[in-house]
Structures are given as C-alpha cells and as structure tokens.
Amino acid sequence: MIKTILQAKQKQKPARQNLGISGEKVLRKQAIEVPVIEIKTQKIKNVLKEMSAALNSQDDGVALAAPQIGYSLRIFVVSGKIFAPDFARVRAAKILAEEEPSETLQKKEKIKDLVFINPKISKLSREKEWVPEGCLSVRWLYGKTLRSKKATVIAYDENGKKFTRGASGFLAQIFQHETDHLEGILFIDHAKDIKEELPAK
Ligand SMILES: [Zn+2]
C-alpha cells in the first residue's frame, strides 16, 4: 500500500529533473540488446559519453543504465570512483550518518568508468542480505533491498570485447540494480523501509 502511494508520488515528480531523463516510459521498458557489430559505432560511443557525463554530474552517482537517460539499450556504466581506495571508507561514514571526511573522492586520480554492454548475470550467490539502496531516477527515495552477496556478469566492453566480472558486496549490488533497470524494474518495486531523504544543501 505504502509502496503504491510512493510510486504514485514518483509519477508526479520524476527524476528527469536531475538527469534530463526523457520519460518514465523508457525506464519501465525492457531495454534492447546492442548488436555486437554496432558497439564501436559513433552512435554507441555517443551514448556511452552521455552516460558517463550524466553519471559524473551526480555526486552520489555510482552507476547508470542507458534507460535512465532515455535510451532503451542494454548498457550500464559503473563509475570508476567506486574503485578509489578511500571510497568504501567514505561510503561507510555516509551510511552511518557520520560527518563526511573533509577530503573528497575521485578528485585525485580519475579511474575509468566501467562499461557493460548486453550484460547478463551468469551467477548469483544464494546468500542474500538487506542493503541500503537508492537510485538517480528515483529521487530522493531510499530503502533496503534484498540482494545476493555475490554476482557475476558477462558483458561486452566499449571495444566489443566480451568479459566476465565477478563481484561481491557493493559492486554485486550495483550489478543487480543496473540489470534490473534493463528489465524495467526499479528498486522501489521490491524495497522495504522506503523513505525520502532530501540532500543536504
Ligand atoms: Zn537506478
């Protein structure tokens, strides 16, 4: 019931105000695979560029799926900043609502964003945990979702090369959140304890 209300509310106040999203319809559609021979075309290069720009325009953005900026394509990008050595520490401090450390992330050394084209989750651990979650397209709601602790994704990179990436913890959660986007699923569809948390100005 609460969820229904929140979703109705979401419809009046979609996230496009943050990301210039072209419509909620795309967010709710199953996205389309990119033909492998098209991966290196200018069209896809431009989409990837736009995705990284949108992602990096959001301080709290860690990953973005193509439907979030209006492209119904099976692509997601993970921000390189989550691989920064101090990312886990800063994130933990934020979750515990402790004071934010004075130095900020990603300014020192830019780590390349990771591109996943036509991603498929090939493995999910049976072991799951409730983890805090939010979404750039569902401002400013946060909740807890039940996610597998480990996940493996098979995808193509921006050069059309197939690769496999296993992850645990936060990156495994990102894999699950982003592949959900490609199916038109948002975290609020299955999260619990959903609440609104406006950003500190
Ligand atoms: Zn999202």
Q: Are 171 and 78 in contact (CB under 8 A)?
A: yes
Distance between Cα 116 and ligand 1 center (Å):
15
Task: Kindly list the strands in the beta sheet with 150-156, ordered across the sheet, starting from the edge strand earlier in the chain.
Answer: 63-65, 75-78, 114-124, 150-156, 162-168
Q: Pick the closest to residue 160 from 112, 111, 115 (CA basis).
A: 115
Residues with CB under 5 A from ligand 1 (ion): 135
Predicted local confidence at residue 103, as pLDDT: 54
Query: Per-residue DSSP letters for 124-140?
Result: E-S-EEEEEEE-TTSTT
Distance between Cα 185 and ligand 1 center (Å):
9
Structure tokens at 198: 């406006």
Q: From the first residue on, what is the mean pLDDT of each consecutive set of 10 residues in the chain (201 residues)? A: 36 43 80 98 98 94 97 97 85 70 56 96 98 95 97 98 98 98 97 93 69
Distance between Cα 189 and ligand 1 center (Å):
12
> Within its chain, how far is the Cα of 67 from the centroid?
11
Predicted local confidence at residue 104, as pLDDT: 55
Q: What are the residue ranges of helices labelled H in the chain?
A: 2-12, 16-19, 24-27, 42-56, 87-95, 169-181
Q: How far apart are CA 48 and CA 50, in angstroms?
A: 5
Distance between Cα 53 and ligand 1 center (Å):
16
Q: Pick the closest to residue 15 from 62, 54, 73 (CA basis).
A: 54
Distance between Cα 67 and ligand 1 center (Å):
10
Q: Pick the closest to residue 196 from 9, 24, 20 (CA basis).
A: 9
Predicted local confidence at residue 111, as pLDDT: 87
Q: Where are the domains of the chain?
A: 2-196
CATH code reported for the domain at 2-196: 3.90.45.10
Per DSSP, the three-state class of 184 is coil
Distance between Cα 12 and ligand 1 center (Å):
18
Q: How far apart are CA 39 and CA 156, in angstroms?
A: 9
Predicted local confidence at residue 91, as pLDDT: 81
Predicted local confidence at residue 133, as pLDDT: 97
Residue type, 112: K
Counted residue by residue, the chain has a size of 201
183 is catalytic: no
Annotated catalytic residue, options 50, 178, 183, 196: 178
pTM of the model: 0.83
Q: Are 90 and 12 in contact (CB under 8 A)?
A: no
